[in-house]
Amino acid sequence: MFIPIIFLVIIIINYVQSQTELILPPLPYEYNALEPILSEHLMRLHHDKHHQAYTTKANAALKSMFTDETSNNELKDLAKQPIEVILTHLQNLPEKYRLTLRNNGGGYINHKLFFSMLRKPTATATENKPTGPLFEAIENSFGSFDKFKDMFTTSSINLFGSGWIWLFIDAQTKQLSINFTVNQDNPIMFDKDHVVLLGIDLWEHAYYPVYENRRNEYVDNFWRIINWPLVESLYTQGTTKRHDL
């Protein structure tokens, strides 16, 4: 059975199957491709250890929920849905699965998006900018690309603890918005129709092996490795599928 999906965090896939097991996707580039911004050592830890751990723990919870004798047919059917769908129904999950899937299912899709939107670094951040309709939308929403960049950077540096800063299309206002989530939460957990475009991982495991406590350097260098063509495709497909945007 195939289920149409509108959630843009999985744009790199053209279809989504019913599933009872999440697959850790390989990096779309070599482990050393992001050096010197992110080292090969860091990327191996981040992808092979952390992303794998989220995948393994989410799979264990999904399997348990599906095979649990106390689970009704509705819950078992939900356990077979794409993780993006499951995370929009957290309130329907039994408490013993809710937090595990929120943290680890969220960690799975957040990292799947994050790794796909990175690319070989440009020499400077000014060389790496979006183009076309996305650039125009950013300028219209924030006044200029530089103002958007400053707002996103400031929010990232000042976020307390572990979490993410996101650029997304707000389902209610229909405007581009910058906001944060804590831990491994994602904007679709709060509104399934939010269209996620860009996110920066601000957990220490995402930067500490290279930058230690210098988060500001990590954030500044992040602008050199954003895969803007991927972000632009998220925006284009999001606005195409969402005719109200």
pLDDT (0 to 100) of residue 9: 39
Report how far Cα 53 is from the mean position of its chain's Cα atoms.
Answer: 16
- Is 194 labeled as ligand-binding? no
pLDDT at 161 over 90: yes
DSSP string, the chain: -B-----GGGTT-S--B--SS---PPPSS-TTTTTTTS-HHHHIIIIIIIIHHHHHHHHHHHHHHHH-TT--HHHHHHHTS-HHHHGGGGGGS-HHHHHHHHHHHHHHHHHHHHHHTB-SPPSSGGG----HHHHHHHHHHHSSHHHHHHHHHHHHHH--SSEEEEEEE-TTT-SEEEEEEETT--GGGT-TT-EEEEEEE-SGGGTHHHHTT-HHHHHHHHTTSB-HHHHHHHHHHHHHH-TT-
Asked whether residue 2 carries a pLDDT value surpassing 80, the answer given is no
- 150 labeled binding residue: no
In this prediction the pTM is 0.88
Residue with tokens 């070599």: 30
Q: Which of 117, 141, 156 is the last residue of a domain?
A: 117
Same domain, 159 and 223: yes
The 10s digit of each residue's pLDDT in 43-72 is 999 999 999 999 999 999 999 888 887 878
Please determine, for residue 154, whether its predicted confidence score (pLDDT) is greater than 60.
yes
Q: Tell me, what's the pLDDT at 206?
A: 98
Kindly state whether residues 136 and 161 are assigned to the same domain: yes
In a domain, 6, yes or no: no
> Is 135 found in the same domain as 228?
yes
Which of 101, 117, 133 represents a domain boundary (last residue)?
117
The fraction of the chain above a pLDDT of 90, given in percent, is: 74
Span 164-188, average pLDDT = 94
Note the pLDDT of residue 215: 98
pLDDT, averaged across the chain: 89
111 annotated as a binding-site residue: yes
Query: Is 202 inside a domain boundary?
Result: yes
* Residues 103-131 pLDDT 10s: 999 999 999 999 999 999 999 999 999 99
Residue 136 is encoded by which pair of tokens?
A: 């125009």
Is 30 within the bounds of a domain? no
Residue bearing the bigger pLDDT, 172 or 3: 172
Percent of the chain clearing pLDDT 70 (strictly above): 90
- Give the pLDDT confidence of 182-226 residue by residue, as tens digits: 999 999 999 988 999 999 999 999 999 999 999 999 999 999 999
Indicate whether 47 and 151 sit together in one domain. no
pLDDT reading at 77 higher than 90: no
- 7 pLDDT more than 90: no
51 labelled ligand-binding: no
- Domain shared by 132 and 224, yes or no: yes
Listed residues 117, 146, 163: the one ending a domain: 117
Compare 93 and 6 and report the one with higher pLDDT: 93
- Amino acid 70: pLDDT: 81
Residue range of the domain that includes 44 = 40-117
Clarify whether residues 185 and 87 are in a common domain: no
What pLDDT is attached to residue 1? 37
